[in-house]
Structure 1
Amino acid sequence: MEVPIDFEHKQYQLLAYLQQINAHFNRTQLYPNLNDLIFHYNNLKKFKQDKTTLETGFPVRLSNMDVAAVKITYEKIVNDDAMMQEIEQIINYAVSRIMPAIKEGREIHDFVSSHLAISEVGMQPLYPYQGYLLLRNGDEKGIRVYEYQVTLFESQHEKYRGIHTTYIAKYERHFVYNTPEAIRKDLIHARRELPNPAVYQVESDITFPVENTLLPLAKKTLVKAISALN
């Protein structure tokens, strides 16, 4: 909606933005790019929907009455001006370009998710909503440890869960000393505030960007696993 509202100018802006998104996707960097694309796409669709709702619900005024035929003709108060037509052209073009980018992002999302495996470490605690997430990333020689907390949010129509993570440390991999079970014992000993924590390990057999891809999808995988316990 910012000036200049010109189709060619907005087309250039959109293509430049999508070029940046594609560069990130080519490096398997999903977030926050995929969320941004979906946010913009939903806003565009909502604008079109709200405009249609406004038009159909707008009052009309009597423009002509033929008494003999008892015929009433109504004239709409609001008609699109040139600027609104230009905006609609821009929006239609943007929707047609953003949707394929979202599809590509979702394909990357599904590909990464298919290479993740989650497992419990130790006994399952009575309270699984707070604990530790162990993250193994392909060929990297280390296991990242995060403390996590899952929170339940409720709206008028649905319930959904959110997760917050805090980075704790990175353990070097060792088939004897730094096994997931050994890391769990070390965490319990070093961090007394969680005496019997839930511990989950999410591992990938392919190396992915951690902050932009692996960690966000590992968190989603963890929330899904915990939700399935209920």
Structure 2
Amino acid sequence: MKNLPENWLTNGLIDFEYKKYLLLDYLTSVKKEFEGQRLYPVFSDLILHYQNLQQVREHKKLVYEQFPQRITRADFEKLELMYEKIVQDDETMQQIEEIMEFAAPRFSNALSEGKEIYEFIENNLEITPVGITPIYHDTGYLFLETFPQKETRLYRYQLSVFQNSFEKYRGLHLDFLESKHRRLTDTYENLKLELVKKDKLLPNPATFAVIAKVPCPFEQSLLPVAKRILLKYVSNLNAQN
């Protein structure tokens, strides 16, 4: 996959045709990833670019942050006047406006395509608790079963909460334990019992199985979507307590 720098809009040559070439080349590589149902990291990268573009479009005064050679922190008090002059008179700003108008709908279309793939995979993943679920859900095991091989990958998960001045963010960390080609006798409950015997730190762990019903790339799609499903599921359980 080809990368598009985070500051692609204002970095380097500010020329409509050049930026158009960069963008279309990037979006072509995005489309190839989506055609192979490979969501990550391309989908999150695409979201970041779209959010950055929307921020610049809605709060254009932030553009000065990316033009240190023209507007510096020392000019902060004169910022409003300098910005108005650039918007009204400067050809560079006009080029940026044209590039943003060209890029916005194309980013939006690519995001819609990625969202459809994400929702298709999500709708074809089934999550179910294994055994009795304890009150504490922030640490436990994830059994992730692929399709059509029916290989089950075992993970230990840990839910984390990050907080800034405005809101809380939840994250999920996975540690891979082992892979199993399950036989008929290898039920999820039996797998859980085996792990409990090995791992004395988790005597009664929360355990969940996520089962794929369609084939999709493991690292780029199945694993990251399964993580999000588990995070949502565990967060809902915590909210109920």
- Give the structure with the larger helix fraction: 2
Fold conserved between structures, TM > 0.5: yes
Q: Post-superposition shift, 1:52?
A: 5.8
The answer to which structure has the higher strand fraction is: 1
Residue 135 of structure 1 aligns with which residue?
A: 144
- CA deviation map 1:175-221 (0-9, x unaligned): 11x21111101111122222221110001111111111111111111
Residue aligning to 1:94: 103
Alignment TM-score, normalising by the size of structure 2 = 0.83
Q: What amino acid maps onto 1:228 in structure 2?
A: N
How much does 1:154 deviate?
2.4
> Offset at 1:53?
8.0
Paired with 1:54 and 1:21, the residues of 2 have a C-alpha distance of 26
Structure number with larger C-alpha Rg: 1
Question: Is 1:223–2:231 an aligned residue pair?
Answer: yes
Q: Which amino acid aligns with 1:204?
A: A
Match of 2:116 among 107, 114, 117: 107
Structure 2 residue runs without a partner (length 5+)? 1-9, 65-78
Deviation per residue, 1:26-79 (Å, 9 max, x gap): 011111111111100111111122226899x9359xxxxxxxxxxxxxxx6552
Conserved in 2, the CA contact under 8 Å of 1:140 and 1:207? Answer: no
CA distance in 1, matches of 2:197, 2:215: 30
CA–CA separation in structure 2 for the residues paired with 1:147 and 1:77: 57
Secondary structure in 1 matching 2:11: coil
In structure 2, what is the equivalent of residue 149 of structure 1? 158
Q: Which residues of structure 1 form unaligned runs of 5+?
A: 61-75
Whole-Å Cα distance in 1 between the matches of residues 122 and 93 of structure 2?
42
AA at the equivalent of 2:203: P
Could you tell me whether the CA contact under 8 Å between 1:29 and 1:209 is conserved in 2?
yes
Letter in 2 for 1:85: Q
Greater shift, 76-85 or 102-111, is seen at: 76-85
Identity %: 38
- Residues 54, 191 of structure 1: CA spacing in aligned structure 2 closer, same or farther, 3 A cutoff? closer
Number of positions where the alignment pairs a residue of Structure 1 with one of Structure 2: 213
DSSP 3-state at the match of 1:92: helix
CA–CA distance in 1 between the matches of 2:126 and 2:162? 26
- 1:58 aligned to 2:66? no
- Paired with 1:197 and 1:170, the residues of 2 have a C-alpha distance of 19
Distance 1:215 1:199 in 2: 16
| Deviation for aligned residue 1:12 | 1.1
**Aligned in 2, Cα 1:80/1:182: closer, same or farther, shift over 3 Å?**
farther
RMSD (CA atoms): 2.0
| Distance of 1:136 and 1:84 partners within structure 2 | 52
Residue number in structure 1 paired with 2:7: none
Q: Write the distance in 2 (CA, Å) between the matches of 1:124 and 1:82.
A: 63
